[in-house]
Chains A and B, each alone.
Chain A
Amino acid sequence: MKITMTVNGVERTDEVEPRTLLAHHLREALGLTGTNIGCDTSSCGACTIHVDGQSVKSCTMLAVQADGSEVLTIEGLADGDTLHPMQRCFQQNHGLQCGYCTPGMVMAAVSLLEENPNPTEREVRLGLEGNLCRCTGYHNIVQSVLACAAESSGAAS
């Protein structure tokens, strides 16, 4: 089946098997390997991307379901060499250890702040409940998101 989606601002048309998962399509057909596959059972959130502006687990979505959609992956977040504020906050707050969960964490965190720009620490933890960090590095991940929220609200006021 032929599908067309806008991936990181670029329109892509490809022939896919209906059973192709969106995560596999992004990684294997489009070469966007920043989207990791961890558990493959929609538990860990490593494959989190945005579809039409909302965080989703791309291992639990068919590529054909995203036909006509706007897809944003971790590769599309930065503006050229300038990191997205969330990426910079993860860097500055040591919000990662091995890095495997990081693309999914960052994408989930960006979606979280879009829905709730000024979350409490508890709201950040609940908002990231769909993302697991095997290094158990949650403390600095939460600090990174809170720092990004504080920075954004400071910039707005």
Chain B
Amino acid sequence: MIPAAFDYVRAESADHAIALLAEHGDEAKLLAGGHSLLPLMKLRLASPTVLVDVGRLDDLRFIRDAGDHIAIGALTRHRDLEISELLSQTAPLLHHAAGHVGDPQVRHRGTIGGSLAHADPASDLPAVVLALGGTLVVEGPNGQREIPIGEFYTGFLESALEPDELLTEIRIPKLDTLGWSFQKFNRRAQDWAIVGVAAVRADGHSGVGLVNMGSTPLYAAGVVDALHSGATAAEAAERANEGTEAQSDNNATVEYREHLARVLVRRALEESGLS
């Protein structure tokens, strides 16, 4: 399978990438690791006429302690997250989940920014960043703005990113973590999750994200509401499907997905230390 023809431009800087996006508008797509976009292009489900390669913008590849949060450059690869000592100390849920994205070859190329911006409801990291309450920093022709992850996903493969904006940084609040869990249910090790759950319990913060339970990555607001009311893990898990719109496919029916969501949320909360 070969993608449709396109013009390839290598961005020399974030500003250059934004200028190229502004010039080419909807016709252009950003290429980072390429592990979400290239498969779509090979299947001709995406046919951008211009590819702006941001893969060499090494100044967007970092993980650093920024006081009240951890700042992660958008081009940081899954492998870098997986082996980061700083992340294992400060955001163990993200550290762990990054090691379960795809397979080692995918993790060597794929980036956190690409994964979040692609807005695939079946991806692991959006649910994790939803659970952690992260903030996305994006840059466009009019400067920088911050988007809370809860406001980022607007539809299937759609986000609040404007066509001429570049996601540059992900901010993960430093939580006083009491417990966390990442549950990924699939049939083969490397597959997308049929259903996945990311949960974190911290001093003053509880968060639960759902993978593959609707047209966007989802925050399990009902579950978190129950937790704030002092529910047990089993009671809170009963609210796992509030606001979900699971789809049927070859792997699972809607009913099965909803069952999985309840079971996996309960397991995630129990593993996070809630009885």
Q: Which residues of A contact B (CB under 8 A)?
A: 1, 17-21, 24, 40-43, 45, 48, 54-57, 60-62, 64-65, 108, 111-112, 115, 126-127, 129-131
Query: 1/0 per position for B108-133, CB-CB distance to A under 8 A?
Result: 11000000000000000000000000
Q: Is the CB of B8 within 8 A of A64?
A: yes
Q: Is the CB of A129 within 8 A of B104?
A: yes
B51 contacts the other chain (Cβ, under 8 Å)? Answer: yes
Residues of A near B53 (CB, < 8 A) are 64-65
Residue of B8, B31, B55, B105 most packed against chain A (CB within 10 A) = B105
The binding surface of chain A is classed by DSSP as mixed
Q: Is the CB of B109 within 8 A of A56?
A: yes
Given A18-B8, A18-B51, A65-B53, verify A54-B108 contact (CB < 8 Å).
yes
Q: Report how far A45 CA is from B105 CA in the complex, Å.
A: 8
B106 contacts the other chain (Cβ, under 8 Å)? Answer: yes
B141 contacts the other chain (Cβ, under 8 Å)? Answer: no
Q: Report how far A108 CA is from B249 CA in the complex, Å.
A: 31
Residues of B near A65 (CB, < 8 A) are 31, 34, 53, 55
With both beta carbons as reference points, the residue of chain A lying nearest to B9 in the complex is identified as A18
Residues of B near A57 (CB, < 8 A) are 105-106, 109
With both beta carbons as reference points, the residue of chain B lying nearest to A17 in the complex is identified as B5
B window 1-25: CB within 8 A of A: 1-8, 10
Return the contact of A56 from the options B2, B10, B105, B190 (Cβ within 8 A): B105
Minimum CB–CB distance for A121 against chain B, Å: 14
Known: A18-B8, A61-B38, A129-B104. 20 other contacts (CB 8 A): A18-B51, A19-B4, A21-B2, A21-B42, A42-B38, A42-B39, A45-B105, A55-B104, A55-B108, A56-B105, A60-B38, A60-B109, A64-B53, A65-B55, A115-B104, A126-B189, A127-B104, A129-B103, A130-B103, A130-B104
Given A42-B35, A129-B189, verify A19-B3 contact (CB < 8 Å).
yes
